[in-house]
Amino acid sequence: MMCLGSAPASAAPTAEVDVRGFGLLGNREMERSLSLLLDDGTRPALVDAGFIEDAALVLNSELVERGYHQAAVRVRWETPDGARGEALLDGRLTEPLPRPLLARRVWLRAEPGVRAVVADVEFKGLTEMGEDEAARFFRPDSGLYTTAAARSWSEDKMRRAAESMREELRARGLAEADVSVVASFPEAGGGEVNLVVTVTEGPRWRVVGWRAEVTGGGASLGGVPDYLPGSAWTRALAMDLAQATRAAYHRAGYAEARVRWRAEPAESPDAKGERPVTAVAEVDPGAAWTIGEVRFSGAVKTRVSTLETRARGLVHGAPYDPAEIDATRLRLARLGVFRTVEANGSDADGGEWRRTAPMPMAARAGRARWFSSWPRRRGGPRPG
């Protein structure tokens, strides 16, 4: 039983809503969901027909998601004068509640009916993976005992399954892949469901070359792996290329470099049935940064020579590489004598930046707190 708004004992009584048919924990979960229908934070003493119908729709939607497509919710209510009423509400509200209606107590009981479960999956046009592997997207296999809940059918579940399978095919280089599902019911609205999954794989996208488009017309700084030509084009490959290219610019001091890779596919597949793709790197390098003066602060007992050894990659005039800054902080942190290690600095325009490496294993409170390096640059904003 849920009291809407959970008013204190001294306050006026509030309307009560009781949910049944979802199990002990499920009933409580659904009651909490229904409390969200009162998004204005009020604690009404009575609920109207609109609230009851909305509550029934929420429960029916949950039943449909669980595979019960003939489900309905039986509603009983009690008015302030003690009169009682009852109605059966389906997911389409074929017969709405009478109006006007105000109730102080409402009982909602789920009547699920027959669960729809996936019995058979037929594939058309699938060659990239085996049917057993593909069927797991639509009909999970939990081993010796697979529950009916795991095999339940709903339009949303099948849509998500088709999207997952499509993304898996595209991750294998079939960038034009698409998946559609058609279900047939031996019995209207429930029972065993047979699926027909139509797969349009399309040609595999194969990288045949690449080029860089650098803002300002500068030359590319590389970072492109040798295996790129001949690789299948995927979203994961584009992300790996962007990370590798960005790292190359960082090593050269372009701390704010922005990199995005995209594909330019050919209009027609080649003789092998694959679509040639030119990978294009869009690069905005930003301003080049160099390390200026390097200072250490807060190291009370640690020798400066020890700190300089750990910061060997930060020398005056060297490119400002965020990866080297982070590596230096970690080397200093591994000494085990500092509570925190920070890299603080200011640029030529007076801006400030800071990176912090907390050390939960700190052994000596009150010792060195941070490490600082001041970079310099030629124009452009400070590094983020």
Task: Look up the CATH number of the domain holding residue 37.
Answer: 3.10.20
Give me the number of domains the chain comprises: 4
Residue with the larger pLDDT of the pair 144 and 18: 18
Q: How confident is the model at residue 324 (pLDDT cuts 50, 70, 90)?
A: confident
Report if residue 164 sits inside a domain.
yes
* The two three-digit tokens of residue 350, written as one number: 């007076």
Q: What pLDDT sits at residue 282?
A: 95
Condensed to tens digits (0 to 9), the pLDDT of residues 233-266 reads: 999 999 999 999 999 999 998 988 999 999 999 9
Residue that finishes a domain, picked among 200, 220, 247: 200
Residue with the larger pLDDT of the pair 188 and 67: 67
Q: Are 326 and 366 members of one domain?
A: yes
Q: Are 254 and 168 members of one domain?
A: no
Query: Cα separation of 60 and 91, whole Å?
Result: 5
User: Mean pLDDT throughout 60-78?
Assistant: 88
Report if residue 382 sits inside a domain.
no
Task: Look up the CATH number of the domain holding residue 160.
Answer: 3.10.20.310
CB 371 within 8 A of CB 311: yes
Condensed to tens digits (0 to 9), the pLDDT of residues 154-211 reads: 888 899 999 999 999 999 999 999 999 998 875 555 578 899 999 999 999 999 999 9
Query: Cα separation of 44 and 13, whole Å?
Result: 8
Q: Are 223 and 309 members of one domain?
A: no
Range of the domain at 250: 205-284
The amino acid present at 57, given as its one-letter code, is: L
User: Mean pLDDT throughout 9-23?
Assistant: 77
Report if residue 6 sits inside a domain.
no
Q: Are 79 and 41 members of one domain?
A: yes
Q: What pLDDT sits at residue 144?
A: 61
Query: Cα separation of 75 and 94, whole Å?
Result: 14
Query: Cα separation of 245 and 224, whole Å?
Result: 6
Q: Are 106 and 120 members of one domain?
A: no
- Scan for tokens 């294993």, then name that residue: 361
Rounded percentage of the chain residues whose pLDDT exceeds 70: 82
The secondary structure element, H or E, covering residue 235 is helix 235-251
Q: What pLDDT sits at residue 217?
A: 83
Q: Are strands 340-346 and 352-358 parallel, antiparallel or unpaired?
A: antiparallel
Residue that finishes a domain, picked among 111, 135, 155: 111
Report if residue 4 sits inside a domain.
no
Residue with the larger pLDDT of the pair 202 and 150: 202
Residue that finishes a domain, picked among 284, 307, 327: 284
Report if residue 3 sits inside a domain.
no
Report if residue 33 sits inside a domain.
yes
CA angle 242, 243, 249 (to 5 degrees): 90
Report if residue 120 sits inside a domain.
yes
Q: What pLDDT sits at residue 119?
A: 87
Q: Extract the runs of DSSP E, i.e. beta strands, from 218-317.
A: 258-265, 275-284, 289-297
Q: Are 20 and 100 members of one domain?
A: yes
Model's pTM, two decimal places? 0.69
Asked if pLDDT for residue 12 goes beyond 90, the answer is: no
Asked if pLDDT for residue 380 goes beyond 60, the answer is: no
Condensed to tens digits (0 to 9), the pLDDT of residues 87-106 reads: 999 888 888 899 899 999 99
Q: Which of 289, 218, 285 shows the shortest CA–CA distance to 248?
A: 285
Q: Which of 5-9, 89-93, 281-285, 348-352 has the highest mean pLDDT?
A: 281-285
Q: What pLDDT sits at residue 187?
A: 55
SS3 207: strand
Report if residue 1 sits inside a domain.
no
| CA 17 to chain centroid | 34
Q: What pLDDT sits at residue 186?
A: 58
